[in-house]
Amino acid sequence: MVELIGKTLPQVFLDQVALRGDSVGLREKDYGIWQRVTWRQYFENVRNFSLGLKQLGFERGDHMAILSENCCEWLYSCMGIISLGGVALGVYSTSPCKEVHYVVKHSDSVFVLCEDQEQTDKILEVIDDLPKLKKIIVKDMKGLRNYPKDNIISFAEVAKRGLALAKKEQYRFQAEIEKGHAQDVCIMIYTSGTTGPPKGAMVNHRNIEAMTRAAAAAMEIDDTDSVVSYLPLCHVAEQIFSLYLPLYFGVQVNFAESIATIQNDLREIAPTVFLGVPRIWEKLQNSIIVNIQDSSWLKQNIFNLCMKIGYGVCDRRLAGKKVVIGLALIWWACYGFIFRALQNYVGLRNVRLCFSAAAKISPEVLRYFHAIGIRVKEGYGMTECTGLSFIHKGDDIKLGTVGKPLDCITFKLAPDGELMKRGPSIFSGYYKNPAATTEAIVDGWLMTGDIAEVHEDGHLAIVDRKKDILITSGGKNIAPSLLENELKVSPFIKEAIILGDDRKFVSAMIQIDFENVGKWATDHHLAYTNFKSLSKLPEVHDLIQREVDEVNEQFARVENVRKFLLLTKELDHDDDELTATMKVRRANIYKKFSEEIQAIYGVQD
């Protein structure tokens, strides 16, 4: 089990500042120019904001919400809150007002940091129903000149007040940090809420230290590494790479301009460590496929030949077999011809560690990247265990599994196959929800809700969420995510929802990838005006049928998708069809599209 020293996150932060001083800790673009923040400047910004909060009346144990996209101020405010013994919590900036209202009110936040006017408006719209909220702190005050001044204050003004207090009481900030204890709750992370209202998972300093030290050992992280911050910081996965690992091990953080520009940002930043959720890996793969299809006949043939060599090499490596010298030399020739260019194209040529996590991914997607020399590892975790708990370690990579447990976790399987975990990284419970906490932690074991299998070599494979397993009318258990992930390997399919619970056969609702299918339609001289008209084209239905047929060949007949329906609208977070993390709200989908589902199966089923 991992050895803990028992320090709080701010105490570790002070150690890093003393050690690294004027070396660069953060990088962020401002008007197209990279701005560098040293560890000493990082400290000063955190200190000033923290003492500014103190001057405004923030007390130990208070909660504060952060409603912003990733930026330096997100980290400054988070660390400032925690340094005072408060609890920081992030709110997705893409969330509609209703969801923002729920999280800010449920969390009893006394302050909220808003990025700009758009986010401030979400709070002001419901401020009368936020009785505990004292102040709205705004990073960018543009457009707020005529807004009420009694409850709005700029981030800069808070920092200014904090600086004045720091000059008056030189060691006040350090004194506040020394009051902290390892068992103090410091961060609250709200779950995505796929089956109901989000729950606030409470995480303490000990949880963070255990997971971070164990994860760093498994990934062999050190202070020469750099990461790109682009996934929402209110998600535990991004907190691991942008907050925990940097504070414990000095990893440099580079803020991407946005998740939409991540591929261009990767080329410019060239990180050594990269975390991608499945949708990002699928998007990168599809981007390569579409570009190759647009290339000349000669380039396509060279690519196909090189990929055969790439698959041959990666399959031997994944099987633990030696790659003979001749084959290795041919692979390096392929690297010179095309693989190096592909690695540069996706921005991952300098990456030494890259991972897929946060949801299941098709092994074929990972195998694709292994073939071109990008050895993506898969990890598994959840908010309730402070993020990561299983990962592929070193060269011990087995596609279709999530690797082996970190040194902070022990696990076992319940009789029905549910994964159970315990260890020092397991969270403190759900805020104001003792019933859910009691249901989640049984006799010290965290009930994950995931059905899993353990292979003979010790690797863990996640089958699916326990609640999502389908049982056909014939009694066959089917894991929908396996089918869904294979369907989403296609560049033409963005989302797939498998149906079949208590039905005679398996079917699917499919959302096409508007960009790729639109380009395909244009290349085939097919006219369309919008997403709906494109989805209704008979030729598009035939295109998707071919993709479905290819996937069906990989599964047993009883698991084959017999019928499918193309959605005529894109699933949307604002329509309560997706969570903020883009996970499908299955119950809402089943209800909203009940007529379409009935049309698939017919009255008689």
Contact present, 49 and 77 (Cβ < 8 Å): yes
State the DSSP string of 78-129: HHHHHHTT-EEEEE-TT--HHHHHHHHHHTTEEEEEESSHHHHHHHHHTGGG
Q: CB count, 10 Å around CB of 168?
A: 9
pLDDT score of 93: 94
- So what's the pLDDT on residue 603? 54
Angle formed by the axes of helices 514-523 and 278-293, nearest 10°: 10
The pLDDT tens digits for 370-390 are 999 999 999 999 999 999 999
Domains identified in the chain and CATH numbers: 9-180+220-272 (3.40.50.12780), 469-601 (3.30.300.30)
Task: For residue 350, give the 3-state DSSP assignment.
Answer: coil
The token duo for 8 is 């709080």
Three-class secondary structure of residue 407 per DSSP: coil
Give dist(CA 304, CA 309) in Å, integer. Answer: 9
Distance, C-alpha 159 to centroid of its chain: 30
Instruction: Name 226's bridge partners.
Output: 252
How many other β-carbons are positioned within 10 Å of the β-carbon of residue 448?
23
Residue 94 burial (CB count, 10 A): 14
Distance in angstroms (rounded) separating the CA atoms of residues 416 and 418: 6
Pairing relationship of beta strands 410-413 and 418-422 according to DSSP bridges: antiparallel
| Low-confidence spans in the chain with pLDDT less than 70 | 193-195, 603-605
User: What is each CA distance from 274 to 61, 225, 253, 255, 388, in whole angstroms?
Assistant: 34, 10, 11, 13, 14
C-alpha dihedral, 112 to 117 to 118 to 123, nearest 10°: 40
HSE, CB side, 13 Å, CA atoms: give it for residue 107: 34
